[in-house]
Amino acid sequence: MKKTPIDRLMAKVNFNGPVSKSRPWLGPCWEHTGAPNQDGGKRNKSRWGHPRPPEEQHIRFLVNGKKTYVHRFMFEYSRGRKLESWELVNHLCHNTHCVHPLHLEATDISGNNSDTRVRAIAALGVAA
């Protein structure tokens, strides 16, 4: 019997992943252990065009013959709705390999950039 996309995705999930330093109340991440996207896609390059290290690269897998980011698939599957073309999935835990549904939120580019600033401030240890 052929496995469903969610079964294939969940078979590669470590449910005891790291806890976010900036948002520890979220609990442990569900880290997808598949290989990061190595095709040089735009999400795997910094804003200056340099390749990101593997731990910062997003992971994709095939769903109905189309490459799909695992975090977007999990968001859509867990929420029961398709994302709009302008919507991004923000990792509240700041772990690009995390697929925990409670760690993912739909946002736009402005909201995603704001959350990136929150992460940077937390990393510096400055009170927001």
Q: What average pLDDT does range 63-90 have in this prediction?
A: 93
* Claim: this prediction has a pTM higher than 0.85: no
User: In the chain, pLDDT over 90 holds for what percent of residues?
Assistant: 48
Which pairs with CB-CB distance under 8 Å and at least 24 residues apart come from 37-45?
37/69, 43/69
Q: SS3 for 86?
A: coil
The amino acid sitting at 91 is H
The number of distinct structural domains making up the chain is 1
> pLDDT tens for residues 10-68?
999 999 999 998 889 999 999 999 887 655 455 555 555 666 666 677 888 889 999 99
The domain in which residue 34 lies consists of 5-124
- What does the alpha-carbon distance between residue 48 and residue 51 come to, in Å, rounded to a whole number? 9
Question: What's the maximum distance between 2 C-alpha atoms anywhere in the chain?
Answer: 53
Q: SS3 for 41?
A: coil
Tokens found for residue 17: 């992943």
Of the two residues 86 and 49, the one the predictor is more confident about is 86
